[in-house]
Amino acid sequence: MLCDTISKLSIDVAILCEQYKNLAPPNTWLADADGQAAIWVLGGIPVQQRPARVHPYFSWARIGGIFFFSVYAPPRLSEKEFSALLANIIEEARSKRPLVIAGDFNAWSTEWGCRKTQPRAPILLDSLALLDAVLLNIGDVPTFNGKQGSSVIDLTFACETLAPRVLSWTVSGVYTHSDHQAIVFEIEDDEASSRPSTRRSYRWNARTLDVDHFSAVVSGASVAPGTAEDMASSLMDVITSACDASMSGVVPRSRREPVYWWTAEIAELRRSCIRARRLSQRSRGRQDEEAHSANYASARRLLRVAIKSSKRRCWSQLCNEVDSDIWGRLYRIAMSRLRCPQTRQPSSPLLVRDAVAALFPRVLGGPALQLPRHTGEPISAVTLDELRGAQTRIKERSAPGPDGIPNSALKIAIAARPDIFLRVYTACLETGVFPTGWKRQRLVLLPKPGKPPDEPSSYHRLCMLDTAGKILERIICGRLEAFTERPGGLSERQYGFRWGRSTIDAIEDVISTAREAIAGKRWCRGTKKYCSVVTLDVRNAFNSARWDNILTALRRLLVPDYLLRIISSYFSA
């Protein structure tokens, strides 16, 4: 039945699950280690790449420039085994683009038409999100019709750059002699594709920034009045367009860099040495053999001397550089020689979900705060001093957020057109809306050395936010401090995250209290006392603080309603 269907529909690639035998030779039939998943390449199309070793429950091949993955996850796999299978697939597919991942996952979710959602579904979605894969299943047409009922368990995923090229995806009504229905989809040829991708990779090389061109593009742009969300989106579109016009994209390295002592002179001497060696080899048995051999020996000697002198000179330069930049070339060279495993984020979906749930606990219901704006409520516009004060605290070399806009470019944009930033930020304060795009973050989990890898507390968490949103955060924070720093605001014993106070002040307070306590004499009704120090550490304190309690505390500090509204918006969604 499979052969007949392939012949009638002129199929080029067949992705199979639970095949009972191999129908073709190994050069066109790529099966997994257990004979549960396979890819059949037809029509004489060459297999451009295949795995070096077979894996259980999945197989892959590169065909026509596209990586196809065939997956079969049997129902008997536990959640832990299912998560491990997906982690293996993610590891194999991490650097492969574009890609298609299809197969029988035995995962139920209402998102693709099932009656209920089971634990496998969120594990699957979280895993494939690491590959920027989107689901191609359309509607709720069952892909399985058996005695147990109907369901949608055969799924097709494609990376976002490939998804626009999928012209059709249908559950075929052709007879398969199986409880599973055939799924047929067509991918448009890359050369014929003219539709833009649904997702951009926003990464620019800040070192190629043309400041004048960038400033000219931003200076000639405008942001139309509208909602705070629309104005913020329009502002970021302007900056993105300016980045496209004034910077080149980050190009991945296609080859290894030369050694630190390599120079153009050494390269030329090497070419001369190779030329002399060829002439020496070809002149064997001839009259000029001795002359060519002498030339070859001389070329080798010159090359060797140049390498030694360059090594001495460059090593001296590296030693001098390390005093000014300890993370420079010498650090990179040393780390490359250690051959130690690089720090990597956890790839197990179950571990990532547990870590996120522990590090970012959810409060059901969210911040229930309804404060309608009153007519005549005083809301002062964002001033130029506030804007400049917030942007000066942004470090130019800090990593950007999901939008990829370098901090240096954003500072230039603020200097060129502060008026559009002031209008957008003022609109956010007046309407009490913190734009959704600026709340989106990229989470990076870095393992702590010597900690068990299966504990959520074993990871440092970095939340990369868009810098434009961080500037709005600092403007709000600056206005809040006017109320928290006045008499009756924060406690005088609060030392953290306050101007003019630090941990050193807290330590000096403790020491002075202890000195006062133990001063004097013990006997004859002396003033000497006992002094004990009790410390308390709240684990995951910042992420565990309840948002509704924060808003209640702010109301006790008599914070204006417009600030409470935008902070409530900041906490929501």
HEC string for 446-507:
EECCCCCCCCHHHEEEEEEECHHHHHHHHHHHHHHHHHHCCCCCCCCCCCCCCCCCCHHHHH
Question: Which residues are registered as beta bridge partners of 30?
Answer: 39
pLDDT tens figures, 442-485:
888 888 877 777 777 788 888 889 999 999 999 999 999 988 88
- pLDDT, residue 196, reads 41
What is the distance between the alpha carbons of residues 255 and 249, in angstroms, rounded to a whole number? Answer: 17
Q: In whole angstroms, what is the distance from residue 424 CA to residue 153 CA?
A: 46
The pLDDT of residue 86 is 94
Q: Are 279 and 296 in contact (CB under 8 A)?
A: yes
pLDDT at 118: 92
| Chain-centre distance for alpha carbon 480 | 32
Distance linking the first and last C-alpha atoms of the chain = 50
CA distances from 539 to 359, 360, 506, 545 (A): 10, 12, 20, 11
What is the rounded radius of gyration, in angstroms, for the C-alpha atoms of the chain?
32
The token duo for 487 is 């008499």
Is residue 242 within 8 A of residue 413, CB to CB? The reply is yes
461 sits in the region (left: phi over 0; alpha: psi -120 to 50; else beta) called beta
Spatial separation of the C-alpha atoms in residues 433 and 427, rounded to whole Å: 8
Each residue's pLDDT, cut to its tens digit, for the chain (573 residues) gives 787 778 778 899 999 999 888 888 888 899 999 999 999 998 678 788 999 899 999 999 999 889 999 999 999 999 999 999 999 999 999 889 999 999 999 999 988 888 888 999 989 988 898 888 889 998 778 898 876 778 999 999 999 889 889 988 999 877 777 889 899 999 987 654 444 443 444 578 888 889 999 999 999 888 888 899 999 999 999 999 999 888 887 655 544 466 778 888 988 998 888 888 888 878 878 888 889 889 989 998 999 999 999 999 988 888 888 888 888 778 877 776 665 544 556 666 777 778 888 888 776 655 556 677 766 678 889 999 999 999 888 888 888 888 889 999 999 999 999 999 999 999 999 999 999 999 988 888 888 877 777 777 788 888 889 999 999 999 999 999 988 888 888 888 889 888 888 899 999 999 999 998 888 777 777 778 888 889 998 888 888 888 888 999 999 888 999 999 999 999 887
- Host H or E run for residue 411: helix 407-416
Taking a C-beta distance cutoff of 8 angstroms, is the pair 9, 184 a contact? yes
Q: Which run of H or E residues covers position 13?
A: strand 13-17
Query: Which pair of structure tokens corresponds to residue 24?
Result: 């073709």
Query: What single string gives the DSSP state of each residue in 412-463?
Result: HHHHH-HHHHHHHHHHHHHHT---GGGT-EEEEEEEPTTS-TT-GGGEEEEE
Q: Residue 536 burial by CB count (10 A; 0-12/13-18/19+): exposed, middle or buried?
A: exposed
Distance CA 312, CA 320 (A): 13
pLDDT one-digit tens code per residue, 336-373:
666 554 455 666 677 777 888 888 877 665 555 667 77
Which residues face 463 on adjacent strands? 443
The CA–CA distances, whole Å, from 296 to 268, 289, 304, 310 equal 14, 11, 12, 21
Q: Judge whether 49 and 61 are in contact, CB under 8 Å.
A: yes
pLDDT of residue 418: 92
CB 153 within 8 A of CB 18: no
Dihedrals phi, psi of 432, to nearest 5 degrees? 70, 35
Output the pLDDT for position 231: 93
Q: Tell me which residue of 466, 404, 406 sits closest to 437, measured CA to CA.
A: 466
Q: What is the 3-state secondary structure (H, E, C) of 124-156?
A: HHHHHHCCCEEECCCCCCCCEEECCEEECCEEE
What is the largest distance, in Å, between two alpha-carbon atoms of the chain?
A: 115
Question: Phi/psi zone of residue 113: left (φ > 0), alpha (ψ -120 to 50 degrees), beta?
Answer: left
**Listed residue (37, 193, 163, 207) closest to 105, CA to CA:** 37
Q: What is the pLDDT of residue 198?
A: 38
Residue whose token pair is 């982690």 = 87
Cis peptide leading into 341, omega within 30 of 0?
Answer: no
Per-residue model confidence (pLDDT) at position 199: 40
CA 392 to chain centroid: 26
Strand bridging mode 47-49 / 58-63: antiparallel
Mark 382-421 as b/e (b = at least 16 C-beta within 10 Å).
beeebbeebbeebeeeeebbebbbbbbbbbbbbebbeebb
What is the distance between the alpha carbons of residues 34 and 19, in angstroms, rounded to a whole number? Answer: 10
Query: Is 243 within 8 Å of 409 (Cβ atoms)?
Result: yes
* Cβ–Cβ < 8 Å for 349, 341: no
Residue 489: which residues within 8 A CB-CB, separation 6 or more?
Answer: 483, 557
Contact 430, 379 (CB under 8 A): yes
- Amino acid of residue 391: Q
CA pair distance 126, 406, nearest whole angstrom: 28
Taking each continuous run of H as one helix and of E as one strand, the counts in the chain are 17, 15
